[in-house]
Amino acid sequence: MTQRIRPGAVAALALLLAATGCTGQQPPAPAPSAPPAAAPGASGQEADVPRPFTLLASGDVLPHSSVIDRAAADAGGRGYDFTPMLKGVAPVVSRADLALCHMETVYGKAGGPYTGYPSFKSPPEIATALRATGFDSCSTASNHTLDDGAEGVGRTLEALDAAGVRHAGSARSAAEAARPTILPAGPGKRAAKVAHLAYTYGTNDIPLPAGKPWTVNLIDERKIVAEAREARRAGADVVVLSAHWGTEWQDEPDAGQLELAERLTASRTGGRPDIDLIVGTHAHVPQAYEKVNDVWVVYGMGDQIAGAMINYQGVQDPRGNQSSMGRFTFAPPARPGGRWTVEKAEFVPQWYDTATGRVVNLNTSVKAGADHHRQVRDRIRDVVLGRGAAADGLVMGE
């Protein structure tokens, strides 16, 4: 059982918001229907018509000491194996055309030592497990990004690179920080290009490394919008922002989240949103999904992997092991250069069982007869839908 206290999150975000401005908003265009897929032998022009795609995002991967111990046991004395932990959700993750995770911690040196709370250094084998599960990219901007300085960031990004997992939010050089992370959403020429941006409210008061202000992205509205527009100029069809924000242990999004979401989703260029989707992490508990200015916002997905969590009242809080995965199906525009729209929005409730060290797809387990999971699933559902997202079409998926 571990405890994590992160003071000052709301105040830091409020200061950042106060220093920034707001861009104008135009009425969103009606959602177009997707063009038909090109038939075999079709012309090259038809073959290059982009196809719809599904994007999945999941919550914090936060390896406390108990999680590291479980991975060691699962490896049978040969290092660390985190793949069994995620096996229960691998079918959902791997079916998505593009799957994004949030790697909250940095990695230690090969062979360790590895540590949990309060200053995390995780086994790099996590990267291999994330790729095996089906994740394509991870946000790496969090309040723990600087737990082991620039060296920890470097080791983490090197391990993700070696595993074939892209990343956004932290960097090893100014050049890397300036390059937008643009990912193909599916195979072939018809795959959409998705930009993945990632920012955090702070770094637990650890200063940025001297001479390396680009090591981790700190939330700044103007910078986020500028990067989104640069990604669009670089060819991105869809721009997704991973935001590490909010108040820990609070089911409801806080004022800072609501205000930043409002301002970012209102930002438009040529009538098109600069950001097409926001997915949030950090609060440790599931939070609501909401459509803001016709853009989907996930305020908080919760912890996908974490040890038994102690809340601010000093008691173990089961909410710290509950989460959701967001799944969004994007349809291409009727004309080149138009807005991609979400034609289907879903959430998949999940739970990390600290006794077995396994992530559980709650809908699948309830269907299989684990009726004791129903209450947990239904609680997550009620929180996720708590700001009226069902009226905008959000449904519970499997």
> How do strand 192-200 and strand 181-185 relate by DSSP bridges?
antiparallel
36 vs 380: CA distance, rounded Å: 36
Percent of all residues in the chain with a pLDDT value above 70, rounded to a whole number: 88
Q: What is the mean pLDDT of residues 152-159?
A: 98
Of the candidates 276, 325, 283, the one whose C-alpha atom is nearest the C-alpha of residue 297 is 276
Q: Which structure tokens are listed for 296?
A: 């989907």
Rounded mean pLDDT, 354-372: 97
- The mean-pLDDT minimum among 32-36, 48-52, 159-163, 291-295 falls in 32-36
Please report which confidence band the pLDDT of residue 336 belongs to, taking 50, 70 and 90 as the band edges: confident
- Detail the DSSP E strand segments found in 251-367: 268-269, 272-273, 277-281, 289-292, 295-298, 303-305, 309-310, 322-331, 341-353, 358-361
Residue 300 has pLDDT above 70, yes or no: yes
Average pLDDT on 217-246 reads: 98
Q: Which of 148, 143, 85 is nearest to 113 (CA)?
A: 148
pLDDT of 42 > 80? The answer is no
Among residues 68, 383, 59, the alpha carbon closest in space to that of 253 is found at: 383
The answer on pLDDT for 200 being more than 90 is yes
Query: How large is the angle between the packed helices 149-163 and 125-133, nearest 10 degrees?
Result: 40
Question: What CATH number matches the domain at 57-396, 3.60.21, 1.20.120, 3.90.25, 1.10.10?
Answer: 3.60.21
Mean pLDDT for the stretch of residues 393-398: 96
Residue 47: the pLDDT is 58
The model's confidence at residue 10, banded by pLDDT at 50, 70 and 90, is very low
Whether residue 11 is predicted with pLDDT greater than 90 in this model: the reply is no
- pLDDT above 70 for 24: no
Cα separation, 60 vs 302, whole angstroms: 6
Q: Which two tokens stand for residue 223?
A: 């910078």
